[in-house]
Every structure is written in structure tokens, then in C-alpha cells.
A and B are shown apart, each in its own frame.
Chain A
Amino acid sequence: MNTTNTIAPPRPGTLGTDASRPDGVAKVQGGFAFSSDMWAENMLWGATLRSPHPYARIVSIDTTAAWKIAGVEAIITADDVPGLATYGLIMQDQPVFARVGDTVRYTGEPVAAVAADHPETCKRALAAIRVEYEVLPPVLDPETCIDGTAPVIHPDGNVLRHQRIVSGDPTVTGDVVVEGLYEVGMQDQAFLGLEAALALPDPGGTGVELYIATQWLHEDRKQIAACLGLPEDKVRLVLGGVGGAFGAREDISLQVHTCLLALRTSRPVRIAYGREESFYGHVHRHPAKIWMRHHADRSGRLVKVESRMVFDGGAYCSTSPAVLINAITHTQGPYKCDNAVVEGWALRTNNPPCGAMRGFGVVQACFAHESQMDKLAAACGVDPVRIRLLNAMQTGDRLITGQIVDSVAPVAECIRETAAIPLPPDMEADPNVLDLPGGSGRTADRHHIKRGVGWGVSIKNLMYSEGFDDYSTARCRIDDGVVTLKFATAEVGQGFVMLAQQIARTVLGVDEVLLDTIDTQVGSAGSSSASRQTWMSGGAVDAACRAARDELFKMVAADNGLDPSRLAIDGTDIVEVGGSFRRPVVQAARGKRVDETREYHHQPTEDLDENGQGNCHVAFAFVAHRAVVDVDIELGLVKVVQVATAQDVGRVLNPKSCVGQVEGGIAQGLGLAVMEEIVVQDGRVRNPSFTDYLLPTFLDAPQVDVVFVEEFEPKSPLGAKGVGEPPCISVTPAIANAIRQATGRDLPRVPVRPSDICL
């Protein structure tokens, strides 16, 4: 049957369809093995002793009493680290354990670890280790690292990165000038699945296998092997089920400790953090102070943007330099602006270390520029939507780094599509108490409430920047008609496992696609971060599948006396274009073996020069958000009623999955807007628990109305852009702007606290 003239719906399970998650059944039945579920015969429990001080010299560590506790099998300190004493993603500046004679630099820094037969035994052993500290005055204000009044707290210095951007004419001024000083609090990734790992030592201690929830197996392996003093091939990592990541699993946390304890005891060891320890065990979103000044002509068209950004990196480097660069290179937002003077600092203090979190520096910059855009709109007497449309960036525009935006850039379309989404109806005359700010607390009645509407629009870079080749690898095997994919891409909940199958089904014309274990027995996939895996690992899987298909075509062509270049996949058949040959792929592949591995590399990028000029980013995605909030002005409580959004996605590969990413990202951005903050006082986290670190509940989540702006991205192997980060970026300022509109308050800081509104 010739179907070329009809557009058939895509085959179920292929690209563009709501394919099912291959891990879904196990996840709903409770059988999916998260890293905290890993278990081995004869297993011990590990636990970590942490510093109670933000800055102190370790005078001595006495483990005598702890060793006397029955069931304790190992106690290790810095002296027991056989390889490199430090680790880190960009600088190797973070000790595996703080050493006697050296200093601890943040509250929660690891000092020792134990292995024992029961978690309770571990707790008792930790309590029995005596550590004598000489407490030092901590460096808490990053500004003191800039002006040089702070003592240097690390041999690598207190400045993690300082970078300027000077673009166009720095002396030009505008007729209209607005400025503000903005602050973003420290947000936690707050994944549900706490850090956990199981290490299995090789006999004789010659190697180790680690089941770990991480975002990047190969980078972990590199750092772990260096600290263990083992060759990388003796350290095998297998992805344990990952209960969310959001950036918090990019850095080493318990990996080295778990392996060391297993190698020391020659027994399997599991470490599983509790929630409090998790708050100390991973990096957070950088708290930032951002000054911005926008110059515009009288119509509101941007002339120049100036900014000074100060990011508190905390005690160790992590990804602070890269986060800073992301922030300053996104100063202008999704708007055309020729002139800029920007200065950024990432600094080392004795506060909790900060690093990657969904949005990676752009969240902070966006909060500032979108607050400014509303100020500018007001100053020019222009509507907030109009001012954004007036300045909306387009493909071909030059960024303040000099880079040309060669991605699809449908900024105006995102704004228009969002504006076209209907506003929610007015509050009912007799509303359900759960719909009011304060919810079940019954704090408000209808007449206490004022409604506000606010906008936020953002630009976000995709993939890694500044010359980094974060390539991805995938392998496709066809064995007697059975297709198996292998990759090291960390499935953290985003659904890459599903996408990989969709790609293979589409390219190879098969319905069954097996997935091999996600581990280090194949090349690196890079990190599941930076909205990059659909593009990068999707590109690698696509390339491997195409290569396998082409090999198969050659074999089938040879068997049947055909020209392989004339073979194609049609549905689940191999067909000869313009010919009569047609055979189901599964049948044609019977008895054949194909095995193809491919790497996908994105176009190279450059470092920034001293004026912040350079093609440092790979590609960009855009999104608009409109938030509607109800505010109890007198008590300062907020209920986000609706978030409307239109997001530039290139192409929707899995509609259900895209919606899920958008809704989840919006909830996270809402959290930063009104409730999520790690409260740090004197270098100590005051709220390291889910009782006091508040995440949005079902009753806080707004109605989300989403439109996808689909314009095929030619640079992307699948035409699609990553969808993970954009949803959480401009929703935060959209909500803040909505609260400002309702209250008339300046609100220069997120999270907006009740007292900021009503006192």
C-alpha cells in the first residue's frame, strides 16, 4: 500500500509521541532500585563526621573511644586517603577529609568516616570521636574578599573568579535610567532521593565497584580514582537509581568515603545520607547580590546595561567560576542591547559551598534583569509586555559577549503566545479556603486579597561553555534482530531512557529496544545538566542508531542484490525506495550482528577574553512566563493562582514529558520566589530539614498553562532544544513582579518573605 500522500500519525513510541518510561512500571510498584535501596550480603553502614564550625583549625582527632564500640569496623580520616587528598570539578581544592593541623572551612565539612554493622552503631561511633578545634573567626561576607579585608582562607585564595564584560560604547547613556540592587537567597535542589551509594571492593583491594546516584559517572570516576590512588579502569561506576538531581549530584559527596571504607574493611559498604546531612553534603544555588542599571531611550528601547554581580561560592570552588560566567553573560536577558559594562565576582567564604543548580547562574541574573524591565516599563510609561516585545532578541543579534545568536530565537513569539493564554477567572464570591493565600490556615477572607499579574522572560544557554568539549557517547547493537542501546547518560528522572528508545524506534523501525546498564563500561556521556542530554546524548544515540541502520542496510542489500543507498525505513519495514523490496526490520535483521559506537560533539566554543568577549556558548533557548498571584497584603501571604508559559523547545519529542519538565520547573521557580531558602547565620544552616526548608506542596502548586513554540533548531541533531532549565528561570521574577504589582512594594529580594510584603 502506498501511503506517501497521507500523513500517518507517528508510530506509538517513536519521536513526537507520549512514549512510556521503561522504568515506569518498577517505579509505580516500588521495585525500582534507587541507590539507597542497594544492598549486599555482609554489608556495613558508613557514616560521616562533620565539622560543627564554619572555620576552625583541627588540633587533634581521637578515635580511641569510638573504636571500643562493638560493631565498629573502620574509622578513617585524612591520613587514610591513599591518593590525591582533594577533589573538585574545576579546581581540586576540596579535601576528602579535613586534616589535623589544617582547617575546616564550612560547617558540615567531613572530618572522619566510620563503618559499622548498624546505622545506630555508626551514630554512636561518630558521637564518640573526639575532635579538638581551635575556632577561628569565619569569613562570611563575600564583599570582604573583594576589598581584601578578609583573611585568606584557602591556599588558592578567596577569589574564585573575577570577570568583566565591556561591550560597545561603555560611556553611552540613555534618556531613561533605572537601577536596583537585587538579592537572591540560597536555594537547595531538594531532590527527594537522598545521597546514597554502595561500594563493593574487589578481592585484594585492587579495585572497587560503586553503585551511585550521580549526574556524571565518568567525571565522578576520574575524581574518585585520583583520590583512591587507583587507575580509572579499576574503579567501575554503575548508576544507582537517581531520585532527582537538579545540579546537586554534579559534585563528589560520599563517593570517595564509601569506596575508602569498603576498601579498608574488604566488605560492601553503604552510605546513605539523612536529610540534614544532605543539606551539608551537597552544594546549593549561589546566593547573589546583583546591582543593575539599565539605560533606554524614551520609547523604552535598551541602550546599555550595567551590572555588578557578587556570588558567594562558599568554602570550595565547585562550579562557581562557570556559574558566574553564565550569570554575567546573561545580564542582558533575551533582549537586544549593544552596550554593556558588567563585572562579576565569585568568592570564597566560610559559608556552605555553592555550585550547580537548575538554571546555573542565569536564575540570579534573570531575577535582576526582569525586575529591571518592569521598572523600565514604568519609567517609560509602557506596558510590561510591550517593553519586552520592543526589545525582544532575534536570531542574528549580537550578545554583549560579541557572540551572534545563531540559534532559533523566537522571543517575541514566546511572549505573544503567553499573552494569548486566557487569564484565570476572578476569584469566586465564596472561595474555597484552600484557594486563598494561607490555605488551610484560614488566615484570609476574600476581601483581604489583591490580585497581581507579572511577567518574566529569559534566555538560557544550552550545554557547557568556554571551550569545554562535553561530548556524549552511545552504542547501538543489533543482535539477531534485537536492538540494545548502551550509554552512560545519567537518568535522573528527566526521561532520557525513554527518549533513547524513541530515537531507536524511529531510526531503526523496531518496537522493542533494550537498554543496557548505565555504567562506565562505555564512553562518557557528559553530565545530565545544562539542559544538554536531549541534544548531546540524544545526538549520540541518534548517530549510533543511524550508523547501525546503515550497516544493516549494507548487509540486507548484499543478501538481496540491492543498492544499500536506496534502502530506507518505512514504519517497521526496510523498503527499497522506488523498488518493490519490503521486509520487516526484525525479520531482515535476523541472524545479523551490528555494533556501532558514536560520539557526538557540539560545535567548539571559546574562552572569554579580559573584556568578556568570545563565542563562549553553544546555543540558547527562550521562554516567557506570566504569573497571576493572589496576595494577602496585610499578612504578606501569597498564593500563585496561574502560571502561563510559552517555551521555545525546537521540537517536542515527547509531549507528556515536556509538560512534566515545565510544570516541575515552575514549581521549583515558585519555591525560590516565595518560600525556599537555606537560612545561613554565622556560617551555620539554621533550617536543614524539610520541616523548615519549605518546598511547594500540592496546595501551593499553581495551575500551569503551557504552549510549546516549535521551530526546528537546525543546530540540534534532533531539532530539539533542552527543556529542563528554562521553566524554572523567569517564573521567579514573573511571580515577584506579580506580587509587586499587587502590593506596590519594591521587593528587591527573593524569596519574598511575608514580612517583606506587610511590614
Chain B
Amino acid sequence: MTVLAPRTVDELERILADSPDHTILSGGTDLMVEVNLHGRRPTAIVSLRSVEELHAWTFDHERVTIGAAVPYATMEVGELAGLVPALAQAARTVGSPQIRAAGTLGGNLGTCSPAGDGLPVLSALEATVHIRGNGDRRDVPFADFMVGVKRNALRAGEFVHSVSIPRVDGWQGYAKVGTRNAMVIANASTCLVRDRSAGRVRVALGAVGPTILRCPEAESWLAANSDLRGNTPPSADVRAEFSRLVSQASRPIDDHRSTAEYRRHAVGVLARRLLERSYQ
């Protein structure tokens, strides 16, 4: 039998240490597309289905920790959605309900597509990726985890155990543009977090660069030019300049889904609208 189904994280770690070429299977929504359509022929598979620890999520007053194998459907509604609303909003846009019942944040991180819907949220919330493998544990900030188009910081024998997301005093939201009203890959997406205690916003952009992009210039400029702690929204001029700076931070390309020009425009609009929403 070449599909292994470990029950514990230790067991999983041992399997991958012995055979780092085993393919990790979580929800299957990326891997099986590769197998069905793109000629990928795994010879041995480790399924995360029975590793209960990876299917759990916890929280305390500082952070929410989500196991790598928790499906998006769990993030969309209920308590977890209340704790990380931007993630809930992003989860709701992932593929179809069927995909959300299977697909996981661990899979999003494993694949590391710039259009991965969960990733801008992890970026803007400055999440930490907890990695296991080779008898070791590493905590990698999301910013250092995604290193390129479909490339991440995982080494042979390693796997994503969980992601922890700091709880923020403030507002968070996610918006995504596609050319239909459901089940669509992002042409551009934006997550905005307004951290009231820090008096800052954090903005992360999806599908407009080789990795998820943060917008440090736009973030700093806005912090310097408006009151992000209070309830008074920035002026229209300030919002417009913020929008322009966000667009400027994007590095989109033309492809069959959209154009660079549109994507650049869209993230600016989304960031401005999210900022406005954060005051509603």
C-alpha cells in the first residue's frame, strides 16, 4: 500500500524523515488537479486525513491557531469566522462549497499560488507558519514563508503544522475581484487590517505579483496622514492617494484572466473601499 495514513504528527514526521519524496495529500484540491490534468504521477502519498491534531484549531486572547488540515468550510462560519473575519471572507470565496469542504489553509500554503485566497489574509495579519519536520520545529513569519510563484520555505521532510494569527484590536476585511459572482480565481484580491491600538493599517495584495505583496509605503503614508485609531474616516483626498499608493505597490502581469492595468487599478479600488468599510 502506498497511501500512508498516519494518525499522529510524530508518525507523520517519521514518515517524511524516512521518505522525503512522499507527496503530502491534504484536501486534494490542488494535488488531484495536478494528477488529473498535468501529468503529475506521485509514487507514494501521505494523507493527512487521520492526523487529528492538524484538523484542530484553538485560540487564546493573543492568537488564533489553525491546523493545516482545517477546511475552509470551518473558517467561513461560526466561532472561527468571528475571530478572524477577514479569513472567513476569504474562505467564502475559495472555489465552490465542495472545494471549501475539502481545501485547507495548509494546502494554500503548500501550493503558494499568488492567487491563493487565504494568503493575503495571513500576510496582512502577519501570521506565523508553524513548520515541523526532521525532528525540528520552525516558526516562520508568513512574509518569509512565500518566496516566489508556487515556491515556499519548506525544506525536504518538512510540513506545515499550523498557522497562528495574532488577534487584532480593530477592523479587518477581504475583497476579491473575479469575473463571475462565485467560484472564480482571483484576478486581484486585497486584505486590509486597521489596527486601532497601533494606529496603522496593513494591506496585502493577491494575484498582482509573484508573491503576496504588502504595501509598506501606502501603509506608512496613511498612518502619517490620518487618524487610524479613531472613528473619523480619512478625507476623500487621503483615500484617493492611499488607493494610488496601493496600486503602485502592485506588480501585476497580463494573462488570459485579466490585464496588468486592470489588476493594478482593482487593488487600489479594493484597498480604498476596505478602508472606507473599516469606518462604517
Instruction: Indicate yes or no for A touching B, C-beta below 8 A.
Output: yes
Instruction: State whether B262 touches A443 (Cβ < 8 A).
Output: no
From A274, A443, A634, A694, B175 is in contact (CB under 8 Å) with A443
Instruction: State whether B184 touches A755 (Cβ < 8 A).
Output: no
B265 contacts the other chain (Cβ, under 8 Å)? yes
Instruction: State whether A440 touches B262 (Cβ < 8 A).
Output: no
Residue of A nearest to B178 (CB): A441
Q: What is the bound-complex CA distance between A346 and B262, given in angstroms?
A: 33
Q: For B255, what are the chain A residues with a Cβ–Cβ distance below 8 Å?
A: 686
Q: Which of B181, B185, B276 has the largest count of A CB atoms less than 10 A from its CB?
A: B181
Instruction: State whether A437 touches B181 (Cβ < 8 A).
Output: yes
From B173, B189, B256, B261, A692 is in contact (CB under 8 Å) with B256
Residue of B nearest to A696 (CB): B180
Total A-B pairs, Cβ < 8 A: 98
Instruction: State whether B185 touches A691 (Cβ < 8 A).
Output: yes
B161 contacts the other chain (Cβ, under 8 Å)? no
Q: What is the bound-complex CA distance between A699 and B184, given in angstroms?
A: 12
A276 contacts the other chain (Cβ, under 8 Å)? yes
Instruction: State whether A441 touches B176 (Cβ < 8 A).
Output: yes
Instruction: State whether A439 touches B182 (Cβ < 8 A).
Output: yes
Q: What is the bound-complex CA distance between A704 and B273, given in angstroms?
A: 31
Instruction: State whether B175 touches A442 (Cβ < 8 A).
Output: yes
From B92, B179, B258, B261, A675 is in contact (CB under 8 Å) with B179
With A448-B273, A679-B256, A686-B256 known to touch, is A439 a contact of B266 (CB < 8 Å)? no
Instruction: State whether B256 touches A637 (Cβ < 8 A).
Output: no
Instruction: State whether B181 touches A639 (Cβ < 8 A).
Output: yes
Q: What is the bound-complex CA distance between A754 and B185, given in angstroms?
A: 15
- Shortest Cβ distance from B232 into chain A, in angstroms? 19
From A635, A674, A687, A694, B266 is in contact (CB under 8 Å) with A635
Residue of B nearest to A637 (CB): B177
Q: For B176, what are the chain A residues with a Cβ–Cβ distance below 8 Å?
A: 441-443
Q: What is the bound-complex CA distance between A643 and B36, given in angstroms?
A: 38
Proximity bits, A267-311, B CB within 8 Å = 1, else 0: 000000010100000000000000000000000000000000000
How many residues of chain B are within 8 Å of chain A by beta carbon? 36
Instruction: State whether A440 touches B181 (Cβ < 8 A).
Output: yes
Q: What is the bound-complex CA distance between A559 and B87, given in angstroms?
A: 81
A554 contacts the other chain (Cβ, under 8 Å)? no
Q: Which of B248-280 touch A at CB < 8 Å?
A: 255-259, 261-262, 265-266, 269-270, 273, 276-277
With A127-B39, A276-B37 known to touch, is A700 a contact of B273 (CB < 8 Å)? no
Q: What is the bound-complex CA distance between A437 and B181, given in angstroms?
A: 7
From A442, A448, A759, B173 is in contact (CB under 8 Å) with A442
- Shortest Cβ distance from B43 into chain A, in angstroms? 13
- Shortest Cβ distance from A354 into chain B, in angstroms? 19
Q: Which of A635, A639, A679, A687 has the largest count of B CB atoms less than 10 A from its CB?
A: A635
Residue of B nearest to A694 (CB): B180
B104 contacts the other chain (Cβ, under 8 Å)? no
A21 contacts the other chain (Cβ, under 8 Å)? no
Instruction: State whether A443 touches B273 (Cβ < 8 A).
Output: yes
- Shortest Cβ distance from B226 into chain A, in angstroms? 20
A123 contacts the other chain (Cβ, under 8 Å)? yes
Instruction: State whether A694 touches B174 (Cβ < 8 A).
Output: no
Q: For B185, what are the chain A residues with a Cβ–Cβ distance below 8 Å?
A: 691-692
Q: For A445, what are the chain B residues with a Cβ–Cβ distance below 8 Å?
A: 273, 276-277
Residue of A nearest to B264 (CB): A759
Q: What is the bound-complex CA distance between A443 and B174, given in angstroms?
A: 9
With A443-B176, A679-B256, A755-B261 known to touch, is A700 a contact of B181 (CB < 8 Å)? yes
Residue of A nearest to B259 (CB): A755
Instruction: State whether B182 touches A698 (Cβ < 8 A).
Output: yes
Q: Which of A436-456 touch B at CB < 8 Å?
A: 437-445, 448
Q: What is the bound-complex CA distance between A692 and B36, given in angstroms?
A: 16
A753 contacts the other chain (Cβ, under 8 Å)? yes
Instruction: State whether B173 touches A274 (Cβ < 8 A).
Output: no
Instruction: State whether A697 touches B181 (Cβ < 8 A).
Output: yes
Q: For B258, what are the chain A residues with a Cβ–Cβ distance below 8 Å?
A: 754-755
Instruction: State whether A440 touches B182 (Cβ < 8 A).
Output: yes
B108 contacts the other chain (Cβ, under 8 Å)? no
Q: For B262, what are the chain A residues with a Cβ–Cβ distance below 8 Å?
A: 636, 754-755, 758-759
Q: Which of B162-193 touch A at CB < 8 Å?
A: 173-187, 189
- Shortest Cβ distance from A733 into chain B, in angstroms? 19
Q: What is the bound-complex CA distance between A442 and B255, given in angstroms?
A: 23
Q: What is the bound-complex CA distance between A637 and B175, given in angstroms?
A: 13
Chain A interface extent, by class: 35 or more
- Shortest Cβ distance from A638 into chain B, in angstroms? 9
B123 contacts the other chain (Cβ, under 8 Å)? no
Proximity bits, A36-47, B CB within 8 Å = 1, else 0: 000000000000
A135 contacts the other chain (Cβ, under 8 Å)? no
Residue of B nearest to A639 (CB): B181
Instruction: State whether B181 touches A274 (Cβ < 8 A).
Output: no
From A123, A687, A699, B181 is in contact (CB under 8 Å) with A699
Q: Which of B106-139 touch A at CB < 8 Å?
A: none
Residue of B nearest to A127 (CB): B39
With A276-B37, A443-B270 known to touch, is A438 a contact of B182 (CB < 8 Å)? no
Proximity bits, A694-716, B CB within 8 Å = 1, else 0: 10111110000000000000000
With A444-B273, A445-B277 known to touch, is A753 a contact of B265 (CB < 8 Å)? no
A434 contacts the other chain (Cβ, under 8 Å)? yes
Q: What is the bound-complex CA distance between A443 and B92, given in angstroms?
A: 13
Instruction: State whether B181 touches A681 (Cβ < 8 A).
Output: no
With A635-B269, A698-B182, A699-B182 known to touch, is A441 a contact of B177 (CB < 8 Å)? yes
Residue of A nearest to B36 (CB): A274
B89 contacts the other chain (Cβ, under 8 Å)? yes
Q: What is the bound-complex CA distance between A679 and B184, given in angstroms?
A: 17
Q: For A699, what are the chain B residues with a Cβ–Cβ distance below 8 Å?
A: 180-182
Q: For A439, what are the chain B residues with a Cβ–Cβ distance below 8 Å?
A: 180-182
Q: Which of A434, A674, A694 has the largest count of B CB atoms less than 10 A from its CB?
A: A694
Q: For B37, what are the chain A residues with a Cβ–Cβ distance below 8 Å?
A: 274, 276, 689
Residue of A nearest to B183 (CB): A697
Proximity bits, B181-221, A CB within 8 Å = 1, else 0: 11111110100000000000000000000000000000000
- Shortest Cβ distance from A430 into chain B, in angstroms? 11
Q: For B187, what are the chain A residues with a Cβ–Cβ distance below 8 Å?
A: 754
Q: Which of B65-117 touch A at CB < 8 Å?
A: 89, 92-93
- Shortest Cβ distance from A591 into chain B, in angstroms? 56
Residue of A nearest to B35 (CB): A120
Instruction: State whether A687 touches B273 (Cβ < 8 A).
Output: no
- Shortest Cβ distance from A509 into chain B, in angstroms? 48
Residue of A nearest to B276 (CB): A445
Q: What is the bound-complex CA distance between A3 and B178, given in angstroms?
A: 61
- Shortest Cβ distance from B56 into chain A, in angstroms? 26
Q: For A691, what are the chain B residues with a Cβ–Cβ distance below 8 Å?
A: 185
Q: For A440, what are the chain B residues with a Cβ–Cβ distance below 8 Å?
A: 92-93, 181-182
Q: What is the bound-complex CA distance between A276 and B186, given in angstroms?
A: 21
Instruction: State whether B256 touches A675 (Cβ < 8 A).
Output: no
Q: For A636, what are the chain B residues with a Cβ–Cβ distance below 8 Å?
A: 262
Instruction: State whether B89 touches A675 (Cβ < 8 A).
Output: no
Instruction: State whether B265 touches A442 (Cβ < 8 A).
Output: no
Q: For B93, what are the chain A residues with a Cβ–Cβ distance below 8 Å?
A: 440-442
Q: For A696, what are the chain B residues with a Cβ–Cβ distance below 8 Å?
A: 180
From B173, B177, B261, A438 is in contact (CB under 8 Å) with B177
Q: For B257, what are the chain A residues with a Cβ–Cβ distance below 8 Å?
A: 687, 692
Residue of B nearest to A753 (CB): B179
- Shortest Cβ distance from A464 into chain B, in angstroms? 35
* 9 contacting pairs across A/B (C-beta < 8 A): A276-B37, A438-B181, A442-B173, A442-B176, A444-B273, A699-B182, A753-B179, A754-B262, A759-B261
16 additional contacts, CB 8 Å, given A636-B262, A637-B179?
A: A127-B39, A274-B37, A437-B181, A438-B181, A441-B93, A441-B175, A441-B176, A442-B89, A443-B176, A445-B273, A675-B179, A696-B180, A697-B180, A700-B181, A754-B179, A754-B262
Q: Taking beta carbons and an 8 Å cutoff, which residues of A are in contact with B?
A: 123, 127, 274, 276, 434, 437-445, 448, 634-637, 639, 674-675, 679, 681, 686-687, 689, 691-692, 694, 696-700, 753-755, 758-759
Lowest 6 A-B CB distances belong to which pairs? A439-B181, A686-B256, A755-B262, A441-B176, A699-B181, A699-B182
